[in-house]
Structure 1
């Protein structure tokens, strides 16, 4: 019998956050992600997903984020959330250790009824994505036709998703509703201040993300990265800020607006790497474990999941793989970017 334990890797980083992908499909084709709209074969079953969540909780995971692709495309999202909710309520169940269950979505499918179902099923937090407030920019960033109404419809859908998420109880004042924006030089850097003004008006924490070299199809180059320091200077010139820092294991460095209009955050994986305390594991929709967002290959977990999950062997496999982890790609980017093999794409990894 394998007992519960806290596991650390070779750099003494604990396993605390699990990002579990439900699908590789997406209804957008964002320039920084470039999904191919195809589903992977061999999607995990609900029992397999729950077995993976349980094994990770036994090794120290306290935060679960459900991702895609676009997770709202999965018809298994609500049943999985409900199963997790019931187990979180059981004293002694490994899932009772989960402090939060979160979701990352582009918001296009989040209407009132869906938001209510997600809330009832036990979802604690939603992070929505929006990369501009100009319809043409939204279309360009999302891979939509730049002529016609596609950009306007997408922008309206995300705005409405923010409204309905708040109405059903995802309170941004409690951190239960946030907004992600990737800022890419040459594409949407002119949207930085409008997005910040919008988030301030909505009472949302805006998380500004540097354009990252995830995968091999987004045409990444360093000159397209708008560093967090530059974003901060532009914001400071309009709205004075005071630093709140970055919590251990967190991805975002946060600042408070001095006028009391909320918080803004930066995820600066390129210019200010945070590999030193990275505590996140990613499991793809077909059961591959990745211990770095920039990895090329993962560990296939299916041998411990089929024909039925083997709980004890699964814990051992996860523990051994995490214990051997040495990943710190962002800190070594300048040495590796020219020689790395093709890396897994963001839509497959779950971002």
Structure 2
């Protein structure tokens, strides 16, 4: 999602269900055997179940496969379409990065949807991962680990340039580099068979249930064998993902053209497809719409030319399986879903939420977080500060650092006061937060020694827990989170003379909330780290 949002598509410009099915029928009767519904996010379109039902009727004309690419956020509410989601999109296993990339929450929901797909009757489940240097390229090994026990095909896609995604050649990681990295850790990996006209080159690790592959559309394109066509939500046909040229089938249909005329129009578009797109050094797609307004992934080749142009050139590559990617996703509908960002207006700009019509209720939120510190710093925090000074005495370097830290005072008391002040100042720090009268802010900082269950490693930390309450029109989760963040940062400042290089802050989250329209919430605590005995 571009950082400044996208221009909304009025409902009148979006293909109706009937128009989608009319086009799909024409393509299937002309040799298309596979249709994929993609996005944006196809599951947010009203009536997508009806579209799927109508596409099933096309099997009598030769349609063999109906697929769907989804981020899986709403899969738990849409069981009818779950059976068709064979591609999932997930670019990171880090919840924070997920929100940064997608501009919304829902990382846990995507993982749950992936689990549902893997346990369904689908013959194959593929996970699309766009790799960006410095953002998620370090997670490649983690994604490959997912193939060990799951019949999953992870597909690493090279970062491609589109309007609004701030593409930079330096951020693009060539597939060959990723393969070299993986070969170092898995020297016995071997080439896996690819599907006919597949856009990915697949590999597998002996003993792994799944596989992984690379879609190298930038560094090593596959134009000669690619057989994709795309129909956008507003009825434009794109014969190549990297070609900004589009032809409106919607306008022709609404002007009353016949099916034969549409076939000829599609044929002209297909026959105009270039032999290959420009190389990475020369590619220019400044005018190409953002990927979220196109849908799907990599591009289309010349396999339909003979069918649509009545030509029999030997250069034509007529495949047994031609893929049509239909994008039924309505942009305006997606932004109005429950997963939309509430602090954006209809143009995607920052906007404070209007709470005028809300009623004041009792609201409580608790947040928690930890700062991991060294045993030396832990001992300093938990021990009684000695009185007197050490003038004239000889101190070791460690004693000098401890002495410097002690001069700041009681670390936990100072951090507790800072956390309370931070909660009260939240609306001054977070631009779109509403100022709220707080009834109470309770903060505790608890030194703990925790043990990681898998490794048995003991780690020293200070756990900060903040509970905030108010009688107001909106919740106090942000106040609780701010309190924890400021409290932990204060501990860092108090201990940096001793532990500046070793400390690590993490795990900041809302653990409990009560009150408001969304109801109560209690986060299940993880079990990877537990208090040591």
TM-score w.r.t. length of structure 2: 0.52
With over 3 angstroms needed to count, the CA separation of the structure-2 counterparts of 1:207 and 1:80, relative to structure 1, is: same
Alignment correspondent of 1:43: 14
Structure 1 counterpart of 2:215, from 267, 292, 317: 267
**Does residue 1:343 correspond to 2:288, yes or no?**
yes
- Seen in structure 2, the aligned counterparts of structure 1 residues 247 and 202 have a Cα distance that, compared at 3 Å, is closer
Paired residues for 1:18-97 under 5 Å: 29=1, 36=6, 38-40=8-10, 41-88=12-59, 90=60, 93=61, 97=62
Shift of 1:107: 1.0
Query: Matches of 1:35 and 1:347 in 2, distance apart?
Result: 10
- Separation of aligned partners in 2, 1:165 and 1:59: 31
- Structure with larger RCO (C-alpha < 8 A, sep 6+): 1
- Counterpart position of 2:113: 161
- 1:131-170 deviations in whole A, cap 9, x for unaligned? 12222222222234xxxxx4xxx22111111222344x34
Contact kept, 8 Å, 2:175 with 2:219, in 1: the verdict is yes
The whole-number CA distance in structure 2 between the counterparts of 1:226 and 1:336 is: 16
Corresponding residue number in structure 2 for 1:220 = 167
Distance in 2, matches of 1:207 and 1:39, equals: 30
User: Is residue 320 from structure 1 mapped to residue 272 from structure 2 by the alignment?
Assistant: no
CA RMSD of aligned residues (A): 2.2
Bigger shift: residues 68-77 or 307-316: 307-316
Question: Where does residue 102 of structure 1 map in the other structure?
Answer: 67
- Note closer, same or farther for the CA distance 1:324–1:342 as it changes in structure 2 (3 Å cut): closer
Which residue of the partner structure matches residue 252 of structure 1? 200
Equivalence for 1:193: 141
The normalised TM-score by structure 1 is 0.77
Give the equivalent residue in structure 2 for 1:3. none
1:290-305, aligned counterparts within 5 Å? 290-305=238-253
Q: Contact 1:294–1:344 at 8 Å: present in 2 too?
A: no
Q: CA deviation at 1:203?
A: 2.7
Q: Does 1:289 align with 2:237?
A: yes
Is it true that 1:231 corresponds to 2:201 in the alignment? no
Asked whether the 8 Å contact 2:149–2:210 carries over to 1, the reply is no
What SS is found at the alignment partner of 1:276? coil
Q: Distance in 2 between matches of 1:83 and 1:201?
A: 36
Q: In the superposition, relative to structure 1, how do residues 199 and 259 fare at CA in structure 2: closer, same or farther (>3 Å)?
A: closer
CA deviation after TM superposition for structure 1 residue 272, in Å? 1.0
Cα distance in 2 for residues equivalent to 1:236 and 1:37: 43
Q: Residues 229-288 of structure 1: CA distance to partner in whole angstroms, max 9, x if unpaired?
A: 111122222333111254442210001212243211111111111112221111111111
Are the equivalent residues in 2 in contact too, given 1:35–1:347 (CA < 8 A)? no
Separation in 1 of the partners of 2:5 and 2:67?
Answer: 22
Per-residue CA distance 1:262-319 (angstroms, 9 max, x = gap): 2111111111111122211111111111111112220011243125562221111112
- Number of matched residues? 294
Tell me, what secondary structure is at the counterpart of 2:224?
A: helix
Tell me whether 1:118 sits opposite 2:66 in the alignment: no
Cα separation, partners in 2 of 1:327 and 1:140, compared to 1, 3 Å: farther
**CA distance in 2 between partners of 1:209 and 1:139 (Å):** 19
If you compute each CA radius of gyration, which structure gives the higher value, 1 or 2? 2
- Consecutive unaligned residues of structure 1, counting only runs of 5 or more, are 1-28, 145-149
CA distance in 2, matches of 1:71, 1:345: 16
CA distance in 2, matches of 1:76, 1:309: 25
> Equivalents in 2 of 1:161, 1:190: separation in Å?
24
Preserved contact between residue 126 and residue 170 of structure 1 (Cα < 8 Å)? no
Shift of 1:87: 3.1
